[in-house]
Amino acid sequence: MKYINISAIAIAIGLVFNGGAMAESMSKGHYKSLEKNIDAKYKTAQDGCGSFSGNANDICVAEAKGNRSVDKAELDDSYMPTIKTRYNVRIARAKADFSVAMEKCDDKAGNDKDVCVKEAKAAEIHEMANAKAQMKTSKADVVAIDKSAAANTKAMDKAVEAHNDAASDGRDADYAVAKEKCQALAGNVKDLCLSDAKVRFGQH
């Protein structure tokens, strides 16, 4: 296994309890009230999208849906904060940003659109992979407090592996973007572009 600099994980460790410690208790009634507000905000936003047409309308709707998903994930995290709910917030944001970015790509054509799509996907992959790595790091922190030294070592190994996987997924996604950009070129210039992309992103 290849290990990243452990200090990168050390920065994240210890943060797991901060959100829970700062979160104020919320009653079920208050939760339901805020949930209704989110739905009302979404309906208002959707109604507002009616003033747009074509792809502008699609972008507006995607933004409204994305905001609702993020708002609900954040509400759940405020109501009952856990490692999983914090993870869900990051995933909701990643998916919301991706949906909007993909709609915006529809305003482009040809290679510009292909590159746009690859960039949108790369951004989502980066965020989702990092969210997963952070969740595993947070779990390792919990194990460090509640379990034996051996269990802690095993959990930390999983956290390190998750960070390495995130870095690998990110490189692959960035390579896909670079490769797509090379498609706009031709001949030797294109070949050199592809070769350089392989070297830069560790592709074999």
Asked if residue 60 belongs to a domain, the reply is yes
The rounded distance, in Å, linking the Cα atoms of 114 and 107 is 11
Of residues 70 and 140, more confidence is placed in 70
pLDDT for 49 equals: 98
What is the count of structural domains for the chain? 1
Whether the full predicted model's pTM is greater than 0.85, yes or no, is no
Asked if residue 105 belongs to a domain, the reply is yes
pLDDT digits (tens, 9 = 90+) for 48-59: 999 999 999 999
pLDDT digits (tens, 9 = 90+) for 7-38: 443 434 444 444 444 445 789 999 999 999 99
pLDDT for 109 equals: 97
Asked if residue 27 belongs to a domain, the reply is yes
For residue 162, pLDDT over 90 is answered with no
Asked if residue 1 belongs to a domain, the reply is no
Read off the amino acid at residue 66: G
The rounded distance, in Å, linking the Cα atoms of 92 and 70 is 5
Phi-psi region of 62 (alpha: psi -120 to 50; beta: other; left: phi over 0): alpha
Phi-psi region of 113 (alpha: psi -120 to 50; beta: other; left: phi over 0): alpha
The rounded distance, in Å, linking the Cα atoms of 106 and 9 is 38
Beta strands in the chain (DSSP E): none
Asked if residue 178 belongs to a domain, the reply is yes
Least confident of 23-27, 69-73, 89-93, 167-171: 23-27
The rounded distance, in Å, linking the Cα atoms of 99 and 70 is 13
Q: What domain range is 182 assigned to?
A: 6-200
Quick one: DSSP state of residue 80? Answer: S
pLDDT digits (tens, 9 = 90+) for 181-196: 999 999 999 999 999 9
